[in-house]
Structure 1
């Protein structure tokens, strides 16, 4: 028997949801507010929430010290490039696992997922040496490859889940009509899984955008994305919280805006096939 939903219960759930959302968003809000403070206000005790001198000086200083737009373009190219490359590899792989299953399909999927459990630092030295010998250090190409490989297990798992919800009879009908394997994937399977592919794409872009470990260890100047841009404001002289907050705000603003405008697509894709 379904539990009755009273107005009081709805109000309580709404309040709790807003409190949880505020707790999750508060660090971002505090970072944005700190970016408009002076350095003295940023470290004042007790902390000043809104009653401080608002200034844009930190943003001007950040832009003078660093080329924000170069770092921004590096982040866009690296995150989008690694995502597109991962989808090119993952879509055929997920198709074969979903529609041509073998006895070892689940074992392969679990092995792929288990690679995410290994600390990245465990393979840093061999990957660094490979990149050094192949001339991929401080290059966008190298970061695109390493981020694609890092997120590929998640992409394959998500696409496999979405593809499993598509009736195999539709693909069989396409084969009977003479569709080749390539046309089956491109013209039949992919359009039917657009919500799942879109959510996978958006999630992978976010993961690649926020990746810091590999970007800090495999880049220097030319291909440094926004994660390295933020790290550059940690210096031996100490942390300048207002300027660091301004750099962080500039780095997270594009991905926050993307997430805000694509939230419906993300929710639709992440719940694709959840309800029969």
Structure 2
């Protein structure tokens, strides 16, 4: 029987949740507000929160100085491309680990996860030299390959967790009906794990979108995404906080909108299999 929750406890929980949410969101809110200030107001002491002369001049200056839409398109291609390729590789891999008995499955999963513990700078030089020699330097294809390999352990781990919650009896019934391996994965397993796959896709799009280390070191002009677009406003001439905030707001706005409209699917996927 469900335990009754008092109205007072509901109010306390709601207030605490909103307070934590505002605390986490405050840095983003401050960046958005700073983007509408002049450079003088952006560095004023004490800082002004809402009562200042609002201006959109920073956005016009940022667009004049940089081609925002080119950087935006590069981010879209790189993040979605790396995530889709990662899913194509990870779905069969996670299926094998979840439904094919093996004593080394956990060891393989831990080995894959351990690759995330290596500092990226440790392999920067060899990857940079390889990309330079094969012509992948400053190309969207090169970044797609790198980000796919970087995020692949996370994709496999998440999908493995979701697949483990699917009853194996369903797959065995499909095999008894004559379903081939390809049909089992495409038409039985994948549709049942749509919430988990969707949340994995969304999370890895966000990770690829926010990746800065590799995008700054492996690109120059042709394939630079929005992370490089933001970094271009930190120069030896000084930090222009208002313009930097405007560039940051333009870079995070698409992913914030995506997260807002897909939050229901994301939460559903992250809690997939939590309650039986």
TM-score interval w.r.t. the shorter chain? Answer: over 0.9
How far, CA to CA, are the matches of 1:87 and 1:250 in structure 2?
28
Deviations 1:253-272 (A, max 9, x none): 00000000000000000000
CA shift at 1:7, angstroms? 2.1
Unaligned stretches of 5+ residues in structure 1? none
Q: 1:111 aligns to what?
A: 111
CA shift at 1:45, angstroms? 0.3
CA shift at 1:249, angstroms? 0.1
> Is structure 2 residue 32 aligned with structure 1 residue 32?
yes
Q: 1:41 aligns to what?
A: 41
Deviations 1:121-170 (A, max 9, x none): 11111111111111100000000000000000000000001101111111
How far, CA to CA, are the matches of 1:122 and 1:274 in structure 2?
37
Alignment of 1:75-224 (within 5 A): 75-224=75-224
Report the RMSD for the aligned CA atoms in angstroms: 1.1
Question: Against the structure 1 CA distance between its residues 169 and 82, is the aligned structure 2 distance closer, same or farther, given a 3 Å change threshold?
Answer: same
CA shift at 1:245, angstroms? 0.3
> TM-score, normalised to structure 1's length?
0.98
Unaligned stretches of 5+ residues in structure 2? none
CA shift at 1:5, angstroms? 2.8
Q: 1:274 aligns to what?
A: 274
Alignment of 1:217-232 (within 5 A): 217-232=217-232
Alignment of 1:9-88 (within 5 A): 9-88=9-88
CA shift at 1:12, angstroms? 1.6
CA shift at 1:2, angstroms? 8.1
The number of equivalent residue pairs is 276
> TM-score, normalised to structure 2's length?
0.98
